[in-house]
Structure 1
Amino acid sequence: MKKTFDLYEHLAQYYETDQMGIIHHSNYIRWFEEARTNLLDQMGFGYDQMEKLGIIVPVLEIACLYKSMVHYNDRVYIIPKIEAFNGIRLTISYQILDKTNGELRTTGESKHCFLDKKNRPVSLKKKHPELFDLFDGYLGVDLSK
């Protein structure tokens, strides 16, 4: 099982800025989603594959703590990490780092659950043990190295 990943890099776009020339706060949540999607794809089981199995993964909660500003044309790395997983719920943390100097720009966390198409909770351990093992294998692993 691959335990390192290509870092997810984002180039801050002009349309993401506010009137002060900094990235508008709402975009960081989108960046978390981009990095999470990239993480799942690199793990080998993206959202598209889960949906083919009838699994959806909604966001239950999201938090974001802004440390320093990102400006137009800055390049940042967005690093997700699986912090908690029990087969029904999933928590992912995020760090946004300046690509040039490594400065921590933002931290965050998203919480999710696994549901079937009828919006009922799904236990991956019972219904999809291969997926349970995949997620469990990445629990707490620092994927930035």
Structure 2
Amino acid sequence: MGVVHHSNYIRWFEEARTDYMEKLGLGYETMEDEGIMSPVLSVDAKYLRMVGFGDTVYVKARIKEYNGIKLTVSYEIISDRTNQVHCKGETKHCFITTKGKPLSLKTASSQFHEMFLKGLQKDKEENE
């Protein structure tokens, strides 16, 4: 069909979220080294326009909600050429130990907790 398969958008969300955390200062690898996992609870994607093969896009990731226990990240997939949004979406996450026990970053890792709070504040200010 000459367009990118819809499942790739979800992969782009994950890559953008991973990159976003690195830019905030602490990545998934560091989180996992501390014994903290962040599984996806849900994914939502609204496909607005098709992305064709060979088109270049970039993904904006932002923290939408964070309370120490759950994290919601929003995304926009944007055409590099036209600057149009092709897809909007979000992922919801929780935090668990390597044994699957739920945890709060407020008590389990103050450095990740503070990082997400700062990211949330920064993203809210940029959207106002």
TM interval, short-chain normalised: over 0.9
Q: Determine the structure 1 residue equivalent to 2:18.
A: 37
Where do 5+ consecutive residues of structure 2 fail to align? Answer: none
Query: After TM superposition, which residue ranges in structure 1, 4 or more long, deviate above 6 angstroms?
Result: none
Among 48, 55, 64, the residue aligned to 2:45: 64
Written as runs of structure 1 = structure 2, the 5 A alignment for 1:79-98 is 79-98=60-79
* TM-score (normalised: structure 2): 0.93
Alpha-carbon deviation of 1:140? 4.9
**Structure showing the higher helix proportion among its residues:** 2
Among 123, 130, 135, the residue aligned to 2:104: 123
Assess, with a 3 A threshold, how the Cα gap between structure 1 residues 101 and 110 changes in structure 2: closer, same or farther.
Answer: same
Q: How many residues align?
A: 126
Matched letter for residue 46 of structure 1: G
Q: Determine the structure 1 residue equivalent to 2:54.
A: 73
* TM-score (normalised: structure 1): 0.83
Distance across 1 between alignment mates of 2:42 and 2:100: 17
Asked if the contact 1:81/1:140 (under 8 Å) is kept, the reply is: no
Counterpart of 2:42 in 1: which secondary structure? strand
Among 111, 131, 141, the residue aligned to 2:92: 111
Counterpart of 2:2 in 1: which secondary structure? coil
Q: Determine the structure 1 residue equivalent to 2:6.
A: 25
Where do 5+ consecutive residues of structure 1 fail to align? Answer: 1-19
Asked if the contact 1:81/1:141 (under 8 Å) is kept, the reply is: no
Show CA shifts across 1:54-103 (max 9, x none).
Answer: 00010000010000010011111100010000111000000011011111
RMSD across aligned C-alpha pairs, in angstroms?
1.6
Identity of paired residues, percent? 44
Among 17, 24, 30, the residue aligned to 1:49: 30
Show CA shifts across 1:106-142 (max 9, x none).
Answer: 0000000010011111111112112111100111534
